[in-house]
Amino acid sequence: MIPASPVIIEVAVPLPMEKTFHYLVPDTLTQQAQPGKRVFVPFGGRKLTGYVLALAQSADTSKLKEIISVLDDDPLWTDSELEFFRWVASYYLHPLGEVLKTALPAGINLQTGKGSDGTISGGQKIRFEAVYLAGDGAAPMRALGAKAVEVLELIRSEGEVPAALLRKRFGACAPQLKRLTGLGLLKKQEREIFRDPFREETVERDTPRQLNLHQQTALETLLTCLDKREFAPYLLHGVTGSGKTEVYLQAIDRALHRGMNALVLVPEISLTPQLVHRFRARFDDGIAILHSGLSDGERYDEWRRIRRGLARIVIGARSAIFAPLENIGIIVVDEEHEASFKQADGLRYNARDLSLVRGRMEQALVVLGSATPLITSLYAVEQGRLGLLSLPERVRGIPMPTVETVAMQGIKSTISPRLHRALEETLASKGQVIIFLNRRGYATFLVCAECSQPLTCPNCTVTLTYHRSRGQSVCHYCDYTVPAPGTCPSCGCPELKELGAGTERVEHDLRELLPQARIVRMDSDTTSGRGSHARLLNHMADGSADILIGTQMITKGHDFPGVTLVGVVNGEASLHMPDFRSAERTFQLLSQVFGRAGRGDTPGRVLLQALDPSHYAIQCAINHDSTDFYRQELEFRREAGYPPFAYLAVLALSGTSEQTVEQRANTTANLLMQIKHELALRVELLGPAPSPLYRLRGRFRRRILLKSASRADLRRLIAVWLSRREPGTTVREFIDIDPVDMM
């Protein structure tokens, strides 16, 4: 007899290591140990949750350890999803086990077992409920008693009834249920329940709009691609209010009719209420949402609904790119220019970029939509790597708003007399107003009247923002808080001056100027509670607020037809950041803010307060001229050697001792330089230099910027460095591929 050859599997563990590992599967587990499932494995002296990637071969099995148990009944992922995750791990140079862990909803991740008994803890409970169904048995009804007959009749007419509902209706009825079940008249089943994030909301049905000519042209192209079922990447460049969402909805409708599923990525939770609402009004059941506002339990339930094929449309923030949705026919990335598609820690992936990768693997249509696309997207169009669909006009012929600049030289107040007058006029004609300011808090910061020192954070290199209603100065990075106004920490002077204005200050000033106006403020100070976003936005939607004041949170995708005036308090605020994208961001931000005005029947008006509005980013936004902005910005990128003319990576280091960080940064830079020369790689190394925010949450930060026209060379350099670097340092090091946050 030939002994059966042992079963070996390849397992990824969620630890910072590039390798995967081979394990033996004991005979009792061979049926269960399949790719895509989690297994409990011995690792070093510990026990860990690992992920089965594939069946494997190994010449020498004598050194292999056995897995302890298989944790899932069904695979969590399909083979093609595992292939996608392998791609992600390799591109971002991130351990596959950690990628897989990131891809799972928080509720499902089991913690490493600490005890020797292999106990596992920390998983989210799957909840079940008992339901009763009519059985096949026939029995003499007379012998049952009145209550049992009533119970039986209800269940027969309803098909199935949860036990909890029966108790509510009939009071204690366990004996009757037991009897009916015993007679075969009823069956009892345990049913999985999914927590429903929409439970409090009802939606009115909505039907597809008659498209205008531009929308129709765009839609037809998309439908043709859908019918071919092949990878087709498109940029849908449509001005604000041009009806992009309507195009998504109708394209998705076609995909569903063709039996394919849809994945929709949106930037942030603040955007989701309105957009999700529009989807739910258009499509019947089968919508799952995934975003950070859900509880772990809800998230896990949504994830399982998707895995089971119970949701055909998935809408979510960046992590939804990892949703276990099969048979994807279309991926929509709404507001593709948004920085929040990039994950800022751990696996630093960009969901916008990954949508193209997953779309290619799934042979899907990918639609990147924006009124202000990324410079790199427009360049990809020029290069023929992305198809272009334009919606150059607003729907129903609504004109773009007119933008006037208000020169702020010599004006001390936050609201200029001209903006004040425009506010009064608008309110008198029953219009609504949005006031935009990209700073929360009351004063930007406090400055000593005596020695002119600003109040700064002891942990971070930033000034503290003064919040008047809380009576505190707060660090917006680490939350360091001091009572304020206090005394100057440098010279002890008790007099501190307020400098600059935040949203809280603007609200205060507006309430003084316009005591009758109904004002709401939306920034991260007023929206921390669950559902608070939606509540604030509802005040605008139902007309119970006249003025909405807010930070960039209000610039995104909201459609309030009543808004006829938009005021921008400090037009150049975002322009002078030490970041090569600051012009692009400013153009995007201003265009989006302007786009909130005049989406209804009354034309919109924008007043932009600024000291110096001459920069091309501001001028192009004022003229709604994205072509001119693209031309000028591309020129700047070419000269400075930034994307799309170079690929970037950042190697960032941080630690609590400045000296140690500096030493390690120098060692790292030297090693990189050595590898670069050895392998003749065309990569430019800049730094190490202190990060613009050189101290953050008590940690000193340095970084090395890697630039190259060759993605392959850049990756090679980092991969070789990862394999050669000396471990055992207290300094934290991480790689950020295609960095977005340059601070």
For residue 242, the minimal CB distance to ligand ADP (Å) is 4
**Contact map string, positions 228 to 247, toward ligand ADP, x by CB under 6 A:** ----------x-xxxxxxx-
Sheet bearing 7-12, strands edge to edge: 21-25, 7-12, 46-56, 38-43, 69-70
Give 639-672 as a DSSP string: HHT-TTSSEEEEEEEEES-HHHHHHHHHHHHHHH
Tell me whether residue 147 or residue 697 sits nearer to Zn ion (CB atom).
Answer: 697
For residue 497, the minimal CB distance to ligand ADP (Å) is 42
> In this structure, are residues 565 and 422 in contact, taking their beta carbons and an 8 Å threshold?
yes
- The position carrying tokens 């494997």 is 56
What's the rounded Cα separation, in Å, for the pair 706 and 669? Answer: 10
For residue 180, the minimal CB distance to ligand ADP (Å) is 52
For residue 440, the minimal CB distance to Zn ion (Å) is 15
Task: Decide: is 480 part of the binding site for Zn ion (CB under 5 A).
Answer: yes
For residue 214, the minimal CB distance to ligand ADP (Å) is 9
Applying CB under 6 A, among 209, 420, 497, 725 the residue interacting with ligand ADP is 209
Applying CB under 5 A, among 218, 386, 475, 540 the residue interacting with Zn ion is 475
Task: Decide: is 271 part of the binding site for ligand ADP (CB under 6 A).
Answer: no
Interacting positions 383-442 with ligand ADP (CB under 6 A): 395-396
Task: Decide: is 463 part of the binding site for ligand ADP (CB under 6 A).
Answer: no
For residue 713, the minimal CB distance to Zn ion (Å) is 37
Q: Which does 266 bind (CB under 5 to 8 A by kind): ligand ADP, Zn ion, none?
A: none
- Residues in the interface with ligand ADP (CB under 6 A) total 16
Task: Please choose, from the candidates 37, 60, 57, 41, the residue with its C-alpha nearest in 3D space to the C-alpha of residue 49.
Answer: 41
- List the structure tokens of 216: 């129709």
Give 212-227 as a DSSP string: -HHHHHHHHHHHHHHH
Tell me whether residue 179 or residue 558 sits nearer to ligand ADP (CB atom).
Answer: 558
> In this structure, are residues 343 and 268 in contact, taking their beta carbons and an 8 Å threshold?
no
For residue 442, the minimal CB distance to Zn ion (Å) is 18
Task: Please choose, from the candidates 689, 681, 690, the residue with its C-alpha nearest in 3D space to the C-alpha of residue 714.
Answer: 681
Give 451-482 as a DSSP string: T-PBPB-SSSSSBPEEETTTTEEE-TTT--EE
Of the candidate spans 21-29, 157-165, 208-216, 701-709, the one that interacts with ligand ADP by CB under 6 A turns out to be 208-216
**Contact map string, positions 150 to 189, toward ligand ADP, x by CB under 6 A:** ----------------------------------------
Cα 483 from chain centroid? 34
Q: Which does 108 bind (CB under 5 to 8 A by kind): Zn ion, ligand ADP, none?
A: none
Residue 378's H or E segment, with its range, is helix 375-382
Q: Which does 211 bind (CB under 5 to 8 A by kind): Zn ion, ligand ADP, none?
A: ligand ADP
Q: Which does 264 bind (CB under 5 to 8 A by kind): Zn ion, ligand ADP, none?
A: none
Q: Which does 475 bind (CB under 5 to 8 A by kind): Zn ion, ligand ADP, none?
A: Zn ion
Q: Which does 139 bind (CB under 5 to 8 A by kind): Zn ion, ligand ADP, none?
A: none
Q: Which does 273 bind (CB under 5 to 8 A by kind): Zn ion, ligand ADP, none?
A: none
Q: Which does 335 bind (CB under 5 to 8 A by kind): ligand ADP, Zn ion, none?
A: none
What's the rounded Cα separation, in Å, for the pair 248 and 330? Answer: 9
Which residues neighbour 31 within 8 Å (Cβ) at sequence distance 6 or greater?
Answer: none
Q: Determine if residue 551 is left, alpha or beta; phi over 0 gives left, psi from -120 to 50 gives alpha, anything else beta.
A: beta
Tell me whether residue 396 or residue 631 sits nearer to ligand ADP (CB atom).
Answer: 396
For residue 201, the minimal CB distance to ligand ADP (Å) is 19
Applying CB under 6 A, among 30, 78, 212, 363 the residue interacting with ligand ADP is 212
Q: Which does 460 bind (CB under 5 to 8 A by kind): ligand ADP, Zn ion, none?
A: Zn ion
Of the candidate spans 87-95, 260-268, 467-475, 669-677, the one that interacts with Zn ion by CB under 5 A turns out to be 467-475
Angle at 195 between CA 189 and CA 200, to 5 degrees: 125
Is the bond into 105 cis (omega within 30 degrees of 0)? no
Sign of the torsion angle spanned by Cα atoms 393, 396, 397, 402: negative
What's the rounded Cα separation, in Å, for the pair 128 and 141? Answer: 31
Q: Which does 457 bind (CB under 5 to 8 A by kind): Zn ion, ligand ADP, none?
A: Zn ion
What's the rounded Cα separation, in Å, for the pair 18 and 13? Answer: 10
For residue 478, the minimal CB distance to Zn ion (Å) is 3
Q: Which does 246 bind (CB under 5 to 8 A by kind): ligand ADP, Zn ion, none?
A: ligand ADP
> In this structure, are residues 518 and 545 in contact, taking their beta carbons and an 8 Å threshold?
yes
Task: Decide: is 477 part of the binding site for Zn ion (CB under 5 A).
Answer: yes
Residue 293's H or E segment, with its range, is none
Q: Which does 95 bind (CB under 5 to 8 A by kind): Zn ion, ligand ADP, none?
A: none
Tell me whether residue 173 or residue 455 sits nearer to Zn ion (CB atom).
Answer: 455
Q: Which does 242 bind (CB under 5 to 8 A by kind): Zn ion, ligand ADP, none?
A: ligand ADP
Applying CB under 6 A, among 49, 109, 176, 215 the residue interacting with ligand ADP is 215
Residue 566's H or E segment, with its range, is strand 563-568
Angstrom distances, CA of residue 526 to CA of 433, 521, 658? 18, 7, 36
Is the bond into 644 cis (omega within 30 degrees of 0)? yes
Task: Please choose, from the candidates 450, 444, 446, the residue with its C-alpha nearest in 3D space to the C-alpha of residue 483.
Answer: 446
- List the structure tokens of 606: 């924008």
In eight-state DSSP terms, residue 430 is T
Tell me whether residue 52 or residue 266 sits nearer to ligand ADP (CB atom).
Answer: 266
Task: Decide: is 459 part of the binding site for Zn ion (CB under 5 A).
Answer: yes
Tell me whether residue 378 or residue 696 sits nearer to ligand ADP (CB atom).
Answer: 378
Task: Decide: is 460 part of the binding site for Zn ion (CB under 5 A).
Answer: yes
> In this structure, are residues 313 and 348 in contact, taking their beta carbons and an 8 Å threshold?
no
Quote the radius of gyration of the chain (alpha carbons, Å).
30
For residue 246, the minimal CB distance to ligand ADP (Å) is 4
Tell me whether residue 305 or residue 394 sits nearer to ligand ADP (CB atom).
Answer: 394
- List the structure tokens of 164: 């909890």
In eight-state DSSP terms, residue 66 is B
Q: Write the single-letter amino acid at 568.
A: V
Q: Determine if residue 397 is left, alpha or beta; phi over 0 gives left, psi from -120 to 50 gives alpha, anything else beta.
A: left
**Contact map string, positions 342 to 381, toward ligand ADP, x by CB under 6 A:** ----------------------------------------
Share of the chain residues as helix, strand and coil, in percent rounded to the nearest 5? 35, 25, 40
Task: Decide: is 331 part of the binding site for ligand ADP (CB under 6 A).
Answer: no
Of the candidate spans 79-87, 363-371, 453-461, 523-531, the one that interacts with Zn ion by CB under 5 A turns out to be 453-461
Task: Decide: is 559 part of the binding site for ligand ADP (CB under 6 A).
Answer: yes
Tell me whether residue 232 or residue 475 sits nearer to Zn ion (CB atom).
Answer: 475
Q: Which positions lie near Zn ion, rule CB under 5 A? A: 457, 459-460, 475, 477-478, 480
Q: Which positions lie near ligand ADP, rule CB under 6 A? A: 209-212, 215, 238, 240-246, 395-396, 559
